[in-house]
């Protein structure tokens, strides 16, 4: 697997990240606790990711109430892979009395210490979402202090709009503070709104861009029909609100056409959707989250499929925004 530079951080990362958001639960919601991978399953998926060449693990302090970080930390301690980069996030509701995103200096300091105790080290640190009640300069100052103290190597921002990103860059420059090195947002064939404004801005400023939900919860794998209930235990059944924007009749019609193109190339629908994201010129690395061993097949197909500009345009046109 190729190594690429993550935006302005100078840090080399694998061209795919492993997303640990399904360890112990599904994302940060209390309602999906225990709906994700058990510890033994998670350790197996992490081993498989490493064997494939994935060298970045993405997690968050809020995933399954901290269980995701704890399992990733256990895996790191037991396997002793010195070349693994760990990325986690801060800001989501995790503390008693917290009623929204918190990116104050005190919250970041407390939660970074807790994340480091679970994970061993934190290399890449992300704000999980914007905090409208905290001045941007105060948040950026807290991240800069963590870098200066050697507690993290770089910081980035997640779940931003283009206006959010403009404000962060302006605040950093105005205060002569370090800018974020990359952005992490939802992006896939079924979620392409960032192409309009945010991706051009990020690329123009030299920022990296990592994409989560690359298969839109399985929608882009052709697992669902619009007129049928999603299978029990599927991402769409467990957390339907996370994928409501992708689970539409229009998108599923496009997935059917994508499947026909995939068959012509002798790859799976999911493999072709991942390949398109890997080849996207503005995407540094997609974040993949297989829950079963066989789901790595789509990943290996995507990595094996050669660059093809005509195919890239053809696939993209099926899901034109």
Crossing angle of the two packed helices 269-279 and 296-304, in degrees rounded to 10: 50
- Ramachandran region, residue 150 (left: φ > 0; alpha: ψ -120 to 50; beta: rest): left
Indicate the helix (H) or strand (E) that contains 148: helix 136-148
| Phi/psi of residue 103, nearest 5 degrees | -120, 35
pLDDT digits (tens, 9 = 90+) for 133-190: 999 999 999 999 999 999 999 999 999 999 999 999 999 999 999 999 999 999 999 9
Q: Which CATH superfamily is domain 3-218+282-291 in?
A: NADP-dependent oxidoreductase domain (3.20.20.100)
pLDDT digits (tens, 9 = 90+) for 262-304: 999 999 999 999 999 999 999 999 999 999 999 999 999 999 9
Please state, for a pLDDT cut of 90, what percent of the chain lies above it.
Answer: 84
pLDDT of amino acid 303:
98
Please state, for a pLDDT cut of 70, what percent of the chain lies above it.
Answer: 91
pLDDT of amino acid 240:
62
* Alpha helix segments (H runs only) across 10-123: 39-52, 67-79, 105-119
pLDDT of amino acid 14:
98
pLDDT of amino acid 246:
73
State the pTM of this model: 0.93
Cα–Cα distance, 43 to 226 (Å, whole number): 34
Mean pLDDT confidence for 63-83: 96
């Amino acid at each position: 697997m190729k190594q690429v530079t993550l935006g302005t951080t100078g840090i080399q990362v694998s061209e795919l990240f492993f997303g640990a958001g399904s360890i112990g639960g599904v994302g940060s919601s209390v309602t999906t606790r225990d709906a994700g991978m058990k510890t033994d399953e998670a350790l197996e998926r992490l081993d498989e990711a490493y064997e494939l060449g994935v060298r970045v693990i993405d997690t968050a302090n809020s995933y399954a109430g901290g269980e995701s970080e704890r399992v990733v930390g256990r895996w790191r301690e037991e396997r002793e892979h010195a070349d693994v980069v760990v990325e986690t996030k801060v800001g989501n509701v995790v503390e008693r009395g917290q009623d929204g995103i918190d990116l104050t200096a005190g919250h970041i300091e407390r939660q970074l210490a807790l994340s480091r105790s679970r994970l061993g080290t934190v290399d890449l640190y992300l704000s999980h979402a914007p905090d409208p009640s905290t001045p941007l300069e105060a948040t950026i100052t807290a991240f800069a202090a963590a870098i200066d103290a050697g507690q993290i190597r770089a910081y980035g921002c997640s779940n931003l709009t283009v206006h959010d990103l403009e404000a962060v860059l302006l605040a950093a420059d105005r205060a002569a503070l370090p800018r974020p090195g990359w952005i992490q947002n939802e992006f896939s064939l079924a979620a392409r709104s960032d192409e309009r404004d945010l991706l051009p801005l990020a690329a123009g400023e030299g920022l990296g861009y990592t994409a989560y939900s690359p298969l839109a919860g399985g929608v882009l794998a052709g697992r669902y029909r619009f007129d049928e209930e999603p299978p029990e235990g599927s991402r769409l059944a467990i957390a339907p609100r996370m994928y409501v924007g992708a689970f539409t009749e229009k998108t599923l019609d496009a997935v059917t056409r994508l499947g026909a193109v995939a068959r012509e190339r002798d790859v799976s629908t999911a493999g072709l959707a991942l390949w398109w994201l890997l080849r996207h010129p503005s995407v540094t690395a997609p974040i993949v989250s297989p829950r079963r061993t066989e789901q790595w097949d789509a990943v290996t197909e995507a990595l094996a499929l050669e660059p093809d500009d005509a195919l890239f345009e053809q696939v993209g046109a099926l899901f034109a925004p």
